[in-house]
Amino acid sequence: MKLRLPRILATEDEDDQAPVPVEVVQPDPRAAPLHWAWTVAIAAGAAIPRLLYLFIFSNPENPGPYGDVWHHWQIAYLTKEIGLSAPNGPRLWDLKGLDYIWGILHPLLMVAIFDVTGSVSIVLDRLVSLSCGVAAVVLLFQICRRLWGTNVAAGVTLFATVLPTSVMNDASGMVEPLGVALCLLGIWAWLNRGNAWAGVIWGLATMARAEAWVFGIGMVVASLLRRRGVQSVPLVAGFVVVMAVYMKILLDQTGNPIYPLWWNFFATAVGQWQPSTITPDQAAVRPELAAAFLITAGGLAWSLWKRPPSYMLLVFGFGYWVFVAGMFGFTAYLSTWVWWLPISRRFEFPVVFAAVLLVVGLMAWLPRKLRFWSARAGWVAVVAVVLMSQLLWLPIQNVFGTTDATWQATMTEGKQLGAWYNEPSYAGHALAVPPDRPDLTYVLAVYGHVEGKHLVSEMYDPFAYLPSGYRLADHPTTVSTLVQCWLSSNDIHLIAFQQSDANLVLTVELHPEWFTDIGTLQQTGWKIDGVNVPQPTVAGCEAARSASR
């Protein structure tokens, strides 16, 4: 007796399938093109809950615990203000040295949008991610309709439209929606024989998200298992050309052609970047992650073995699950785990893909296997699960709905710092700031009237370049001269520093004549001082640099 695995996938004409000579195959009515108005209607339907969440049920300028939204905004903003016209540019720019860590596509896209709109509001970032989330819903409908028919596509679209984790994460301003939308667009192009475009699009996806390096390369390799020979040349060529350009940019700017991939995953996996200490609570989720890894790895292996018509979507979905579960379950990346991570951006598409499998099972597979199970029963089950999924708004509100007080305090202190900066003694000169508060960079730019070109990062102050063990307390004259040269050469007239920054606190104590006490920002923990250092000599600066090497 021959064992047959359940065929959950609808038929699709493929060039590499041998024709059946005695059967006349009629065109599949599910593949008939829909009027363009359906695409517009689906996009509008997906946009409505996301826009409501962004503008009605949350603060559009407060992305909550997603601090990286501010950081993505900061990189784009400072690239516009400084990086494009920098002496060693054009290049991306950041106060924390993470300018190329996430990719170049999103910052450059936002620079273009800032220029076109004349605004630098973070709401634009959130609208971009929202639009990409809407595009992903439309693409899922088109892909699922091609593979399983309109009924399944409609069920998947309903899930993707109102699933709370998708609504919230798509409107967050993070860049995962951009990467997912590009990966799905590449799959759609591949299904429609646009091999060259698929390769180019998957190459662009790597510029949007570091994990898309894994997904893009994986899907190119997977496509070669299905389409070989001449068919594969345009796809591989398109991908290789885009990647070659991108890797050359990374090599020139960072010295590492796989810089985002290295730091986001390889270095993180062994604990070189993220903290490597894993708490007992974090270790407790390993069994669940390991189970998810094994189950989805099995699904991925089955997809690669059978290579059904929906092969590429399955490879992407199962591959995404394997990647996320594997990174958290088996590497030092688990040290970043928090209880609400399953509803976060990390699991947004894996949850949507699980919904895809559920809908296919309920509306395509079960009706063929069980006589009593009809399409109507499938719809009842889908709607029931969709309604139950709305309970996810409770943990979302618990995590994201309690951050407005912190944001208001940040607004207040950012405006105060901007007011101090705009006093006649400091306006137009440089303001030195700690590197790790991009939310304050935003308030300064939008509400404090402090242009980005006037910000200097303390990440690159003289203390960062001292040899190990070479301290201000031990070499006060030499190090003080280096600080004097840094303050003078950068035209720093106002400095904000953490009250826990021992080096700058000691500098102020050693040279009170250089600094004027302006005030403190309590919530931020910053001390604000005016700066008036005597002009150092070039020879004195060079002598101090030589002595400190």
Q: Decide if 115 is inside a domain.
A: no
Residue 227: closest CA among 269, 254, 196, 250? 196
Here the tokens at position 454 are: 């006037």
- For residue 20, give the 3-state DSSP assignment: coil
Domain that holds residue 485: 405-548
Confidence grade of residue 549 (pLDDT, cut at 50, 70, 90): confident
Q: How many domains does the chain have?
A: 1
Residue 452: closest CA among 468, 441, 439? 441
Instruction: Look at residue 194 in the predicted model and tell me its pLDDT.
Output: 86
Q: Decide if 228 is inside a domain.
A: no
Backbone phi, then psi, for 20, in 5-degree steps? Answer: -95, 115
Long-range contacts of 109-112 (CB under 8 A, 24+ apart): 109/76, 109/178, 110/72, 110/73, 110/76, 110/77, 111/76, 111/79, 111/80, 111/84
- Mean pLDDT value of segment 474-492: 96
Write down the mean pLDDT value for the chain: 92
CB distance 505 to 453 below 8 Å: no
Backbone phi, then psi, for 27, in 5-degree steps? Answer: -60, 140
CB distance 8 to 358 below 8 Å: no
Rounded Cα–Cα distance for residues 503 and 399 (Å): 36
Rounded Cα–Cα distance for residues 440 and 457 (Å): 13
Q: What is the DSSP string of 518-539?
A: EEEETTTTEEEEEE-PPPPPHH
pLDDT 10s digits, 255-284:
999 999 999 888 777 767 766 789 999 999
CB distance 117 to 57 below 8 Å: no
Instruction: Look at residue 231 in the predicted model and tell me its pLDDT.
Output: 77
Backbone phi, then psi, for 486, in 5-degree steps? Answer: -65, -45
pLDDT 10s digits, 107-122:
999 999 999 999 999 9
Backbone phi, then psi, for 521, in 5-degree steps? Answer: -110, 105
Rounded Cα–Cα distance for residues 445 and 451 (Å): 6
Query: How many other CB atoms sit within 10 Å of the CB of residue 452?
Result: 19
Q: Decide if 512 is inside a domain.
A: yes
CB distance 161 to 137 below 8 Å: yes
Q: What is the DSSP string of 294-315?
A: HHHHHHHHHHHHH--TTHHHHH
Confidence grade of residue 168 (pLDDT, cut at 50, 70, 90): very high
Q: What share of the chain in percent tops pLDDT 70?
A: 93
pTM: 0.91
Q: What share of the chain in percent tops pLDDT 90?
A: 87
End-to-end CA distance of the chain: 78
Q: Decide if 381 is inside a domain.
A: no
Rounded Cα–Cα distance for residues 410 and 274 (Å): 26
Here the tokens at position 444 are: 């300064």
pLDDT 10s digits, 240-253:
999 999 999 999 99
Kindly report the CA angle at 159 between 343 and 180, in degrees rounded to 5? 65
Q: In this model, does residue 2 exceed pLDDT 70?
A: no
**CA dihedral for 140, 143, 147, 148, sign (positive or negative):** positive
- Mean pLDDT value of segment 30-50: 89
The H or E element containing residue 23 is: none
Rounded Cα–Cα distance for residues 209 and 211 (Å): 6
Q: What are the CA-CA distances from residue 357 to residues 282, 372, 527 (Å)?
A: 28, 21, 54
Q: In this model, does residue 17 exceed pLDDT 90?
A: no
Which regions of 223-337 does DSSP assign to beta strands (E)? Answer: none
Instruction: Look at residue 9 in the predicted model and tell me its pLDDT.
Output: 47
pLDDT 10s digits, 362-381:
999 999 999 899 989 999 99
Helix axes 195-208, 176-191, angle to 10 degrees: 170
Here the tokens at position 272 are: 């070189």
Long-range contacts of 389-397 (CB under 8 A, 24+ apart): 389/159, 389/162, 389/163, 389/164, 390/162, 390/164, 392/163, 392/164, 392/165, 392/343, 393/164, 395/340, 395/343, 396/164, 396/165, 396/168, 396/343
Q: In this model, does residue 437 exceed pLDDT 80?
A: yes
Q: Decide if 492 is inside a domain.
A: yes
Instruction: Look at residue 275 in the predicted model and tell me its pLDDT.
Output: 65
Q: Decide if 227 is inside a domain.
A: no
The DSSP output letter for 254 is H
**CA dihedral for 382, 49, 61, 139, sign (positive or negative):** positive
Q: Decide if 460 is inside a domain.
A: yes
Please, is 336 exposed, middle or buried when counting C-beta atoms within 10 Å of its C-beta (0-12, 13-18, 19+)?
middle
Instruction: Look at residue 31 in the predicted model and tell me its pLDDT.
Output: 57
Place of tokens 């054009």: 90
Q: Decide if 15 is inside a domain.
A: no
